[in-house]
Amino acid sequence: MTSASDEPAASNKPQLSLHVPEPKYRPGDQVDFSHLSIPPAGEQPRPDEACEAKETAPLCHDLIRVLGDDNRAHGPWDPKLDPETLRTMLRHFALVRAFDERMFRGQRQGKTSFYMKCTGEEATSVSAAMALASDDMVFPSYRQQGVLIARGYPLIEMINQIYSNKGDKLKGRQLPIMYSSREHSFFSISGNLATQTPQAVGWAMASAIKNDSRIAATWVGEGSTAEGDFHSACTFATVYNAPVIINVINNQWAISSFSGFAGAERTTFAARALGYGLAGLRVDGNDPLAVYASQKWAADRARANGGPTLIEYFTYRAEGHSTSDDPSGYRSAQEREEWPLGDPVMRLKRHLIALGEWDEERQEEMDREAAEEVKRTTKEAEKNGILGHGLHHPFRTMFEDVFEELPWHLKEQAEQAIHERKTKFPEGLPE
């Protein structure tokens, strides 16, 4: 008897090869995005919100666009927002961008340990949030600060959380930028990827069980669609017809790997919807009007018991993944400038100017006011403390807010910890 290893090699059979995704451009490369199919604005059909999910199949491979190269709104997806609403949206954009700049600088100055900017992706949070009802429950990822700002969450509360100071309502128990606000229907952000997706679906199912009128929306990066939680969420959403919107933010890059590792080379992320029987839309994520219109379509559909929708927002992460990341180490510096869908803030500004409802002078004034507001609020928040400068929550709060009544073993641990603290620091520290 011979073993398999003794058998001669089958040299006449074709050899298998493994495909490893590779981005088109690396540092130093010339960038050419001509391979992307960018259809003219306004050409995409808008099906009825009550349509069968399969009718949206063509839109999973197309790209819904409203703002054209002439800075005008085109086609059936035009939400026909009034100028004041557009100015409000632009104001939110300005505030988000000013907030990002200030907090990024604060991290570089050692005032906080971590921050994540959303430069270039503002529309996917601000415009989408404005299309939802203020009490619809949102389950964000870690780059949706625009949702809180659009909902009027106080900037000082966001900064206190980033600094983990004595004013932090989360008492330093969350990584900076992982906000939470029950009052603003904003679920706690988690650093574990994609956990928010089944949570959003479960919440939506509960809302339907209670015959409530509130829907849920969640945001997830394209890389996180490779997580099992995402696929569980899609299954439960379609089986139970959950009133939920699953927003996939395809910004082309995870922290250092491009979207191909999540499957972008084979098909669109919106096409994930097809295999689950979900309605699916693929949208220009840098077009504020298209983002608003698609989110409103999906929200109306969910509210009318039409079912869940998966939306891919095709956008670009203009800056690093976080303050811990240097994108120059893995992608061409030209990508940001060459991105064919432009910048959402500039596109909305130019649209308002084209309508005769805005001008460069008012834009400069808005940007200045936003920067001043963020600067003023930051100075106020810094009075509550910054990283490494004390002014944290009292030590005893480590043992609070979990149990209604503290169990005996935690009481013992608390007493022991406090005793050791007093022994080590006899001159005293904040409680």
Residue 418 binned pLDDT confidence (cut-offs 50, 70, 90): confident
Q: What is the mean pLDDT of residues 73-95?
A: 98
Residue 214 binned pLDDT confidence (cut-offs 50, 70, 90): very high
Q: What is the pLDDT of residues 278-290, one digit of tens each?
A: 999 999 999 999 9
Q: What is the pLDDT of residues 307-341, one digit of tens each?
A: 999 999 999 999 999 999 999 999 999 999 999 99
Q: What is the pLDDT of residues 131-152, one digit of tens each?
A: 999 999 999 999 999 999 999 9
Query: What is the model's pLDDT at position 235?
Result: 98
Q: What is the pLDDT of residues 400-412, one digit of tens each?
A: 888 999 999 999 9
Query: What is the model's pLDDT at position 37?
Result: 94
Query: What is the model's pLDDT at position 149?
Result: 98
Query: What is the model's pLDDT at position 431?
Result: 52
Query: What is the model's pLDDT at position 430?
Result: 54
Query: What is the model's pLDDT at position 217?
Result: 98
Q: What is the mean pLDDT of residues 346-353?
A: 98
Q: Is 92 exposed, middle or buried (0-12, 13-18, 19+ CB in 10 A)?
A: buried
Query: What is the model's pLDDT at position 8?
Result: 57
Measured CA to CA, the distance from residue 221 to residue 141 in angstroms comes to 8
Residue 393 binned pLDDT confidence (cut-offs 50, 70, 90): confident
Query: What is the model's pLDDT at position 89?
Result: 98
* pLDDT above 90: residue 78: yes
Q: What is the pLDDT of residues 42-76, one digit of tens each?
A: 999 999 999 999 999 999 999 999 999 999 999 99
For the chain, percent of residues with pLDDT exceeding 90: 88
* pLDDT above 90: residue 392: no
Query: What is the model's pLDDT at position 6?
Result: 59
Sheet holding 279-284, edge to edge: 137-139, 216-221, 244-250, 309-314, 279-284
Domain 53-254+261-382 sits in CATH at 3.40.50.970
Among 105-109, 155-159, 211-215, 390-394, the minimum mean pLDDT is found in 390-394
Q: Is 0.85 surpassed by the pTM of this model? A: yes
Query: What is the model's pLDDT at position 95?
Result: 98
Residue with the larger pLDDT of the pair 9 and 269 = 269
Query: What is the model's pLDDT at position 401?
Result: 86
Query: What is the model's pLDDT at position 148?
Result: 98
**Residue ranges of domains in the chain:** 53-254+261-382, 395-424
Q: What is the pLDDT of residues 251-280, one digit of tens each?
A: 999 988 999 999 999 999 999 999 999 999
CA angle, corner 267, sides to 126 and 338, nearest 5?
55
Query: What is the model's pLDDT at position 4?
Result: 55
Query: What is the model's pLDDT at position 2?
Result: 56
Other C-beta atoms within 10 Å of 9: how many? 6
* pLDDT above 60: residue 382: yes
